[in-house]
Each structure stands twice: as structure tokens, then as C-alpha cells.
A and B are shown apart, each in its own frame.
Chain A
Amino acid sequence: MSKERIKISEALYDIMPSDYQDLVKSATYGKDDRGWKDIGTSKELIEQHSLCAGCPESMAFRYIMASLPNPEDTVMVGSTGCTSLVFPMVAVHNIHSLFGNQNAIASGLKRALSVRFPGRIKDVVVLAGDGATVDIGLDMTLQAWFRQEKFTTICFDNELYANTGGQESGFMQKGFVAKMAPLGKQFEKVRLPEIARESGCHYVVQCTVSKPSLIEKVIRNAVHVAREIGPTYLQLYTPCILEIGKNSMEGLQEMRDSEKPTERFAYKEFISEPAKQLLAELAAKEKERKAAAKQLAGQAQA
């Protein structure tokens, strides 16, 4: 798809919703260097959402949608949970089907798009919560990685089941008292980044969403590596401020506190050799592009 395809017939222009008109006017489909800095100056690919005020997941969503390298040819797959309250407001095609089957859906989807559009880029990105990724859907999460399915899995880790009211999840910290863990959680937080590395993911990052520039970088890397090499996994801490007893304005500080080097969301990254090589090539190309743009700008000035 290109932006051409979403152009509105003049005869129908005035009856189209204004957010659609804005998408056609100023969304960043097809823009090479799109990123988080477009937020505020262009139409975002996410409209209003119904998450709680101050929810870090809503920030994460905005950064991700701004950073996808190829939204005009990206299909997203969600799962049941808080994320599925946002997906209807997202301006790329996306699928909700069942709870926990997101990586199975994405496996079939990616293969269908490869069969139907040979030689064309069609990215698939999964975005689901920790219940969907590490509990009910763990089997399908891992099996997609074993099979080297070429799509990105993003997990919004809020360390509990938020949408159903704060029950224990596999990503919850040991000892945390929650619904269904009345004596405190009895076992350690599942180490999925390490499991992802051992399961064949070529690019794995665990971080919080406190820094938009970091999210932009890891999203671009994860999508490019998945497109060219194999599965990639991002685990992003998006605390559920409601269920951990924080106020709306405290989400950012919670993430900053949790990403300190000694804390459980200290930045973690695993990159396979082929992925390192690809990312180095992409970085070199990017450098060339920027240099050329600078030169062009210089010429124009002169």
C-alpha cells in the first residue's frame, strides 16, 4: 500500500472523518526517516485510545507506531488484553482473534503474505501483553521462534493481567501479592529474553519505554532483522500504574526506577552474528543517506 491508495475522492472528502482526512494530509506513510520526532508535527497512526490516564502502554503504542519503518506494508497482530482496546484506533491493518494465539496467527499471516506478494516487503509485527506471550500463548510464542518465522514479537510486560483486574502472571516478580497470588507469587519472573535467545531469536531487547529514541531504535532494528533474517523479540516494561498503586503521573518515574543497572528492567540485548552484520550494513547505509542529504541541503543553500 502507498499513501496514494488512501486518497479520498473529492466528492466524498467532506463526509470522511476528520482523522482520516488528517491521515491523508500529514501521516508519515512512506517517509524514510520516520520516527518519534514526527509526533506533534504529523498525524500519528494512533487515534484516541481508551486506556487509563497516564498509562505507559499508551506512550509505548505512540512510539511504536511512529517508529515502524514500513507502516504502509505492515500488518499487526494483537491479542486479548489492554492492547486490544487500542488496536481499533491504529491506522494499520491488525488482527484480533483469540487470547494467546498471536504468534500462530502471525505465522500463518506472514506465510500467506509471502506466497501472495513474492518479492514485496510485507512486515508482520505481533504486539501482546505478558499473559498472552508468556502464559497462555508461550507454546506458540516459542514454536514460532523455533521455526524461524520472520516476524517481530513485542511484549508489553506489565507484570500482571491488567485487563482482568490485576491477577498474577508469569512475568510478575516473585513475592508480589496479587489476585490469584494471595500469599505472594511463589516463583521467579520468567526469563523470556534469555529463552528467546536460546529459542532462535536474532534480536532480543528488554527495556522500559521511558526513552522514545531508544524505542525508535529497537523497533526499527527488530523489524529489519525479522524481515531479512528471522524472529526478533522485544520485551517492554509498561507498568500498570493502576494495579501497582501508583498515580497517573507516576508511570515515567516507575520506569526510570526500574531500568537502573541493578534493577529487573536494566537494558538487556542479545544480537546474533548475522543480525549484527545486517544492522551494521543498515547503519552504514543510513550514514550515507544522511551525508547525502546534508550535502544536498548544503548545495541548496549555496
Chain B
Amino acid sequence: MAETKSLIGTQNKKGQTYTDPWKMLNEAPRTPSFFTGSEVIKEAIRRASCDIMIAYPITPQSEAAALIGELFAEGYVGDYFRGESEFAVMSQCAGASFGGARVFTTTAGPGTMRAMENFPMWAGARLPIQMIVTCRGINSPLSIQPDTLEISYLLNTGMLVWHAETAQDFFDWILKGFIVSEEPDVHLPLALCCDGFFVTHTKDVVQLTPADMCLPPYDPYRSPVPCMDMECPPVRMMRDPFIMKSNYISYATHASWQQEVWAAVERSRKHTIHWLNGLIDTENTDAEIMIVASGTAVSQGREAIRMLEDEGVRCGLVKVKTLRPWPEEEIREATKHAKHIFVPEFNVTGWLAKEIRATIPDHHRVHAGPHVCGGMTMPPEIIVSEIKTALGMKTFSLAGRGS
């Protein structure tokens, strides 16, 4: 069996020092850098001791996927290639993860949908693959623009699903994501989502950890299921055997395994709270009006709150960081004083509002909106307008047909 003792303090072939993750992410000095979201993904992976990255071009993640190819050429990633489709790429990621590698990939929109059959398989097979999802439109007519509808399809796969607001979230969460999803009592894949273009293609100041520090490598022998490398007995071992007989034992076996996957999602809660400093962030939770959002809708909500303050309307904010595990208790607590809860979203169905309605008491308080989709931006003015309309206050008309 491969060596499993701690490598912390030793160097990899690029001269980076394997560093205690907590020290690296919370204590090491940070350097401000002005980067696009795609470049931030590259910088995070440079520090992630990633064994294998598999790429496929689809807007808006193509740049990030290609930049990681450069990292591979420089020797920071063990292996890298372009797969033939997202379905194949996600299966190739699975094969690499079954073989004990730390695996990273990126996808978007229609690619996420094409690959969908793989995701419950990843979760069921307990493969801690990290997948960046740079959300874009999925429906016909074709759109490459930001739209978060695809996230709703990931929510019931058994994967961990986090939704980053900024490039800084991205940098930190990619590294923290490997740590949480590789915990033996979690050992699940992570879909780390962001809103395409808004995060991937805009430049922002991001505080980076030192480039000569990296995460300790993945240890596949801490996995709750055996690694498929013929290094561990017993040898009569299939991943993952059929349970297809038509009898009660088969059903019970399958049922208990599904329950175990979701129990593992729940067990990720404590690790996620530790590393992300809670599943939600809050502001002004004593306010009667709350905005609850995820992704860049949080940034727009924050701006709307500032504008409302200027008009004497006090409003609070909940930033939902993780969608799986779902911060049910946290959202209940943060919204307990609210009379009105607004959920701005970059998709047509309002899946986040539905999740929140299913979570809190007196769900008539939830106003599902405003919604934009298909690549439309969400000016804070429309959030302000939605709130003022609901409160019976005079507001401007977006359509310009008079009020």
C-alpha cells in the first residue's frame, strides 16, 4: 500500500511545501491580486495538489479549463487531457477517482445537463471529485449567458452543492472544498457553482495564499470505500455491485445506501461550518425585510439594501453559501423576525425561493423574486422596486408606460 504518513512540511516536485490546510488558508500571509474568475480557478488549482484534471470546451468555463492545461504543462497537475464530451469527461473523472486520484473538472449549462447521469453515480460511488459549474442558460433557444437553472438539477444528486458569490469565494472554496469532500465521513463529490461571466470573466481583487504552499495530497486509503488499485485486500471486490434482484433484501440494501449518501451530505455540515465559517452569512437579521440569495444575486441584494437605506427602509440579508447541505436551521433563525422575505434569482423557476418556502414557517412571507434569466443582468433597482411594490410604496415603472 502506498505511504500514508503525513507529508506536511515536505516539498513536491515543483518546490511547493505541503502545508497544514488550516494554516495555509487562515494564517499564511495573503497577496492581493487583480484577476478574472478563470485565472483565480487556475491559481487555486496550482495550490491544490491535483492529480488529474479533465477538460472540455464549453463557454464560459473554457478559459479556466485551458489555463489548468498550462498548469499541467508546468508540472503542477499530474495528468490532463481533453475528453470528447461532458458525459465522457465526468466518467473519466470517475475512473480517475476510483483509481485513487484527486480529480478536478469544470463544466457549464448544457454540459452539466449532458453529464447528468454521472452525478448520482459519483455520489453513490463516494467519489470526492470537485466540479466547477460556471452556470449558463440550458434551454432552447441556445444561450451562453448566465442563468442558474442548472443548479436546481444538481440539488438531488447526492453531491455537495456550494454557490460562490465572488472570485474570492471561488479561490478559498476550491481549496476548502477538497478538504471537506475528502473527509472520510463525507467522501462525496462537490459541485462548486458560480454565475458564469459575472464571476468567470470579470476582474476582481483576490487575496491569494503563497504560491509556494499547497494542500497535502489526497490519501485514497482514508476513503470509506476501497480504492480500485489492487493494493488492498480482499481482492474479490467490485465497485459498485448491482443490487437488482427483486426481493426485499435488495430493496433494503439500495435504500440504506441512498440514505447513507444523504447522511454523508448531512455529516459534511460540521466540516463545512468549520471551514466556511457557517453555511450562511447574515446582515441586519433584526430587520422586518430580508433578502435571501445565493451567488451574484447576493451582491445585487447588498447594493439594493444600501439604496433602500437611503430611502429610510431597513433591510437585512442572508447569503446562502451551501445549497447541499441545506442551511435549514440557519435560514429559519435568520428570518424569524422578517415579515417579508425577498429571493432575487437568476433563473425563471425560482428554485431557491421554493427551497426557502419549504424550510420556514409562515411561508407566505416569501416573495419569489425578482427573477431575471437568459443572461439578463439584475440591476439593484429592480430588487428595490420589487420590495417597494410589495410594501405598497410608490416606485418607478421599468416598462416606462407610466404608473
Contact = CB atoms under 8 A, between A and B. Distances in A.
Interface in B99-152: 99-101, 103, 117-118, 121, 125
A93 B88 CA distance: 22
B218 to A, nearest CB: 10
A8 to B, nearest CB: 9
A74 interface: yes
Contacts of B391: none
Nearest to B241: A88
B230 A88 contact: no
B229 A93 contact: yes
B91 A90 contact: no
Q: Secondary structure of the B side of the interface?
A: loop
Given A93-B228, A98-B121, A108-B52, A88 B242 contact: yes
Contact of B99 (A84, A89, A116): A116
B2 A116 contact: yes
Contacts of B125: 97
Interface stretch (A51-59, A99-107, A231-239, A280-288): A99-107
B236 A91 contact: yes
Contacts of B229: 75, 93, 113, 116-117, 122
Interface stretch (A139-147, A188-196, A215-223, A241-249): A139-147
Interface string B32-66: 00000000000000000001101000000000000
A77 B51 contact: no
Given A105-B98, A112-B96, A143 B239 contact: no
Most interface-central of B52, B87, B96 (chain A CB within 10 A): B96
Interface in A107-159: 107-117, 122, 139-140, 143, 147
Given A88-B242, A95-B238, A104-B83, A115 B54 contact: no
A111 B89 CA distance: 13
Contact of A139 (B88, B92, B118): B88
Interface in B232-266: 232-242
Contacts of B78: 115
Contacts, number: 163
B84 interface: yes
A115 B88 contact: no
A23 B228 contact: no
A77 B92 CA distance: 12
A94 interface: yes
A96 B51 contact: no
A94 B54 CA distance: 22
Contacts of B16: none
A214 interface: no
Interface string B197-238: 000000000000000000000000000001011111111111
Interface in A24-59: 47
A140 B233 CA distance: 30
A181 interface: no
A92 interface: yes
A116 B101 contact: yes
A47 B236 contact: yes
Contacts of A90: 236, 238
A29 to B, nearest CB: 8
Contacts of A269: none
A85 interface: yes
A96 B234 contact: no
B95 A109 contact: yes
A50 to B, nearest CB: 9
A20 B236 CA distance: 8
Most interface-central of B91, B101, B231 (chain A CB within 10 A): B91
A87 B244 CA distance: 14
Given A6-B235, A104-B88, A92 B99 contact: no
B94 interface: yes
A72 interface: yes
B96 A109 contact: yes
A88 B228 contact: no
A53 B339 CA distance: 70
B81 interface: yes
A93 B121 contact: no
A108 B92 contact: yes
Contacts of B94: 97, 101, 104-105, 108
B230 A112 contact: no
Contact of B51 (A91, A115, A139, A147): A115
Contact of A88 (B51, B97, B226, B238): B238
A73 interface: yes
B85 interface: yes
A143 B88 contact: yes
Contacts of B98: 95, 97, 105, 108-109, 112
A114 B84 CA distance: 21
B323 interface: no
B79 interface: yes
B95 A104 contact: yes
B239 A95 contact: yes
A72 B101 contact: no
B92 A104 contact: yes
B50 to A, nearest CB: 10
B93 interface: yes
Given A75-B229, A92-B230, A98 B101 contact: no
A93 B235 contact: yes
A31 to B, nearest CB: 15
Nearest to B101: A112
Most interface-central of A89, A90, A106, A115 (chain B CB within 10 A): A115
Given A75-B230, A122-B229, 7 more contacts: A96-B239, A97-B125, A98-B117, A108-B103, A116-B2, A117-B2, A139-B85
Interface of B: 2, 51-52, 54, 78-79, 81, 83-85, 87-89, 91-101, 103, 117-118, 121, 125, 226, 228-242
24 contacts: A20-B236, A72-B230, A74-B230, A90-B238, A94-B238, A95-B228, A96-B238, A101-B88, A104-B88, A105-B94, A108-B52, A108-B91, A111-B79, A112-B79, A112-B98, A112-B99, A113-B100, A115-B78, A116-B2, A116-B99, A139-B84, A140-B84, A143-B88, A147-B81
